[in-house]
Structure formats: C-alpha cells, structure tokens
Structure 1
Amino acid sequence: MSRPCTSTSGGFVEAQGAGVVVLMSASAAIAYGAPIYGIVGMSGTATDKQGRSVPAPGKGILSSARESPRVTRMLDVSYRRQQFTAQKAALDQWKSAELQAIAGDNDDDLDMATHEIEATYKRQYQALQDTWGSEFWKRNTDISPLRGSLAAWGLTADDIGLASFHGTSTKANDKNESSVLNTQLKHLGRTPGHVVPAVCQKWLTGHSKAAAALFMLNGVLQSLRSGLVPGNRNADNIAAELKQYDYTVFLSKTIQTTGIKAALIKSFGFGQVGGELLVIHSDYVLAALTQEQLEAYNRQLRKRSLKADRYWQDVLIGKHPFVQIKHRPPFTEQQEESVYLDPLARVHFDPISNSYKF
C-alpha cells in the first residue's frame, strides 16, 4: 500500500517496531573482535523550521553541504599523511628526549614521570590523528561536513552509491527529499549524469512508529555488505515532478552492483526536523590495519562469532533468556566509594558465577 515516489502515492502506511545497532569506536571493535558492518562517516541534524508538529518538509539538512569552496590541499589524503608523518616524528623525538632526561631518577619518581610522559604522548598522538585524519575539515568553512567526511576516507561525492530516502509516500516529502539530495550533490560537484539509486524502504516495511531511521540503517548496512541495491517494487509509475532531478534514479527492481563504497541516509520528521547519516563501507577501516593486526582481528572475530552462535542456541533451547538482567552492581557497598573515586577501577568476568566482579 505504501507507494513512495510514484504518481499514486497517497500518504504513509503505519507500522510498528524499531531498529537497533551497536555503535563503537573502531579501535574498540578491532580490539574486541566485534563485527564491523559499516563506518558512520558523518551524522547531522537540522531543525530549520522546528515548531509544532506540522508535516511540512524542510530543507535544513542541506547545511551538511555548506561551504565556500576554495582550493585546499587538506582534501588530499597523501598531503595529510605527509603532514601527519612529519609531526609524529617530531612527537616521537620529544618523547625520547623526555624519557632520557628522567633516566637517572629513583624508581618512584621514574614511574610517575614515565606515566606522565606516556599520557601526554597519547593525547598528542590522538590530536594528530584528529587533525590530519577524521576531523581536519571541522571549523573550516572551505570544506563542507559532507565533503570533509568523504575525503577523510579518500572519497568524493562521486563515490556515494546509494541514497536511502525517508520515503514516506507523501507527495510533499518525496519531492522535497529528491530536491534536497539533488541540490547537495550538485553543490559538491558530483559528475553530471552519474545518478544515485534512491532506496525507499518504507514500500516494504511501512513507517514504524519508533526508530524508523534504524530500519533504514540496517538495510543500508546489508547493501554495503552485499552490493545489492533493493528496488521499490511499487515504483511502477514515477511521479512526473521527480523526473526533473539529474542525480537520482528510482528503481523498481533490485540490481547487483560491483560494490557500494558509501551511502547517504535521510530522516525527515514532523515539525521540520531532519537527520542525515553518511555510512562508509567497513573495508575502509580494515584496510588501515597492518597484516598482523588484521589477522589478530579476524581471530577475535571468529572466536566472538562462535560464542554468539552458542549463545543463540542456548536461548532457543531455553537454557537462559536472551536478555539477562543484572540485579546488583559488581562491587560491595564497602567498595562503592573507592570505585567511584578511582579512574582505573575495573571489573572482571567470573565464568563460574557468570557475573562481573570487582
């Protein structure tokens, strides 16, 4: 019944449910062997005309493409790598000199000074990664958030291979959403004629009354992993007003691509509140690992996968519920205050009691 982007669209079809994802830093996911389905390259919201819940489309999410473009070397991955390497060498030299300077101290002073130097080095190293890696575009009016987030991974607007539309099957939303995406891509200099497939997932799922955008995110993650762009089976007659846009194509059948590097997700709510996500293929973070790091990650991943399969089996046979509720903290009342005041306090898992303890 839901017919997004067609001449016969007549309003959204209500559904139930919500999507769920687990968001982690790349370093944590790699250390724990968690499966990486995609990378959140950018997230943004806009409340351009936010007010009472009037279902009128807004264009505020266009601001993710905002820039006053000038030629800048910061978009060049090779240039940023060169600068990072040079500054890291200087930081390494500083650390070596500091450690040599305290070499003659007594054991207690040496341990304290070494800890301080290591902590400072770690903070400075992280700042270098941010400056030349993922955050170089921030507070820079020459580079839009969308362009900068793509460039952090060596990508451009031409590398966006899928646009997941909010696609409510209302005439106002479908036209506005197509217009916003078209304007963004044109402003970012996407090659004319290089269209982006628009996926309107609500033709199948309806419009959930909970976290609808997470329905879409899980769908996009599946597309990134498989290279499949799902068609909107109800799109048998595309609305005439949508045919004016140069950068979108509305598919009625699923197609197999050679791979999708990046995807854009839009979520437009009542009261003209908009949201947007740029999702990058997981290969881009795995490609940054050394061979040794990648092999170690894959070992952890296989181990976690086996544990997850066993957990599911135990749930299905009734050995334990899927969600196991914690009934008490992992520390005693006598330990509570000291735990809160110690920044290095950690718990460990006790397999015998199947609980965490301090």
Structure 2
Amino acid sequence: MNIRMMLLGSAAALVAAPAFAADAIVAAEPEPVEYVRVCDAYGTGYFYIPGTETCLKIEGYIRFQVNVGPNAGGTSATNDSSWDAVTRGQVQFTAKSDTEYGPLTGVIVLQANADNATDQDTILDSAYLDVAGFRAGLFYSWWDDGLSGETDDIGSPVTLHNSIRYQYETGSFYAGLSVDELEDGVFQVGEDPNNVGVAFGIGGTAGAFSYQITGGWDFDNEDGAIRAMGTAEIGPGTLGLAAVYSSGPNSYYANAEWAVAAEYAIKATDKLKITPGVQYYGNYLGSIGSDAVVPDDFDGLGDAWKVGLTVDYQIVDNFYAKASVQYLDPEDGDDVTTGYFRLQRSF
C-alpha cells in the first residue's frame, strides 16, 4: 500500500508541475513607443524632440565650387594655379520652444570646408540664443547682407561676431541695435585687433519695394560707416541699388571711402535668373581680410570700378547651379577677372 501511494503521489506531482511553472512566468508589459510628432507651430520641417515640448529643425546644404582667377588656389608655391575646386558641407540645428516671453530659439550651424583630402577645416559658423527680440552668441551682423548678385562689394571684411543685440520686428519692419566684438576685424596702424563696435539696422518692405539702412561705429579705430540699400520689382526683374560711406578704414567697411552699386536681377524663366551688376569705388583701398592692418584714412587713393554677371539656374527642387564672372579695374593696380561655378543641394 505504501509503494502504491508513493507512485500515485509521484504521478500527481508530475501532472501538476507544468501548472506551477506556468503560474511562475509573468509576461512583461510592452514599453509604450513614442513616435516622432510633427511640430507645425514654427513652420515646416520642425518635429518634437521625443519626451519634450521642444521643436527641432535640421537643415543644410552640400556645395561643390570651382573658383577661377589669379592665384585661385592660394599663394603657396605648390598651389598657385588659376583655378581651384572646393567642397563644403553645412548643417544647421534650430530648436524652439514656447515661453512666457515668446519663442525661445537656439541655433547651431556647423560648417566643414575641404580644398582637398588633407586641407580641410570644420568651424562653428553660428551659435546663438534668441528670445523676445534679444540675441546673444556668434552670429552674422546686418553688414553681411547685400544685393542678390555677386558684383556688389558693400559688406564688412568680417561679418561673423560674438555679439549681443536687440531687434524689434513687425511683419514689414525691423529695427535693432547690437554690440559687436571686432577682435578679428581690421585695425589701423598703432591699434590692436581687440576691438568693440556698435551697429544698427533698420529695414522693411512696402509692397514691391524693400529697403535697409545699416550703420556701425568702430571704437578702437574711431571711425564708422553707413550703408543704404533698396530693391524694387520693375518689369521682368528686380532693380537693386546700394551706397556706402566710411569715415575711415574700420571693421564695418574698409574697401573704399565710398561706393555705389547697382544690379538688375532678371527672372528669365521660373528656373533661370540673370543678374548683371556694376559698382564704382571712390578712394579704393582694396578687398581687406581679417586681422588686416590698414592706413588711418583713404587720402591719396585712386578710384576703381567693377562689372559682373551672375546666372542662377534651378535644376530641380533644392538643387541649383550658379555661375559668376567679375571684372575689377582699380586705378592704382592691375585689372583682374575672377569667377566661379557652383553646384548646391539644399535640404
């Protein structure tokens, strides 16, 4: 009887074992999946960063360009050819979120340039924060603006500064003031390249007409510049006019004591734009790079004139070609012809 009871007990235990094992396994609840949501509060291209209420936009471009002109490849003994191919890749990250003061914006722009496989550089092209009209960081000044073609030469030698500015904006008008560190600007003889300046910008649109007035005062060089630009839609294109005056070479404008420029951007077809342009310089000093030492004034310098043509063609959406040729004839130097051909894909 004892053996029979033992066998029956063992059989019952074997039958019950799977039930006990099944009760011990508990299936885990699947983790909720959060898909990327489109953010349409700030325009196209934004999406919510998962788990946050911050909207992010990623954009940029890839550019291939062939430059043509004297020493287009540089002045070194190994690269003094009259043409040079360069490639650029740029990515911009823009983050926005709502606050009690309005949208809080943060922008980071990374740019990589390659002259060849070994001669390359990656730079921080911009990085700034913006809220309620206040902006602080590394960004381009109003002096970076110009006419739509490539002939005009009415901007600062260096337009990317560490700055603080306030800009008031409406739909058709803006006005602002900025304080700029001009550490890599130009400096007159006896001055150090550790500078500060104050600039202002006023602009807007009125129907088919747009305008901009920009000024700046360079405290270390004790000189300033002022510039006015305007465009108007006339006939099959847009007429652009600009004038600039500088009291002396400074970080806001140093190429000449004064200059006037004009262009007419012809919209030949939906994809083709042709822009002839011309500029005249009074007391022409010449194109100035960063950290350049310049004279105290423009006295005794000759004049110069420049003429050019720029052609833009949109191959397909977000992919276009640009070709430009420019001729410069300075009174105090040799005339020079330069140009480039560019392919660019934006995203």
TM-score range, shorter chain: under 0.3
TM-score (norm 2): 0.21
| Higher gyration radius (CA) | 2
Relative CO higher for 1 or 2, CA cutoff 8 Å, sep ≥ 6?
1
Structure that is richer in strand per residue: 2
TM-score (norm 1): 0.20
Structure that is richer in helix per residue: 1
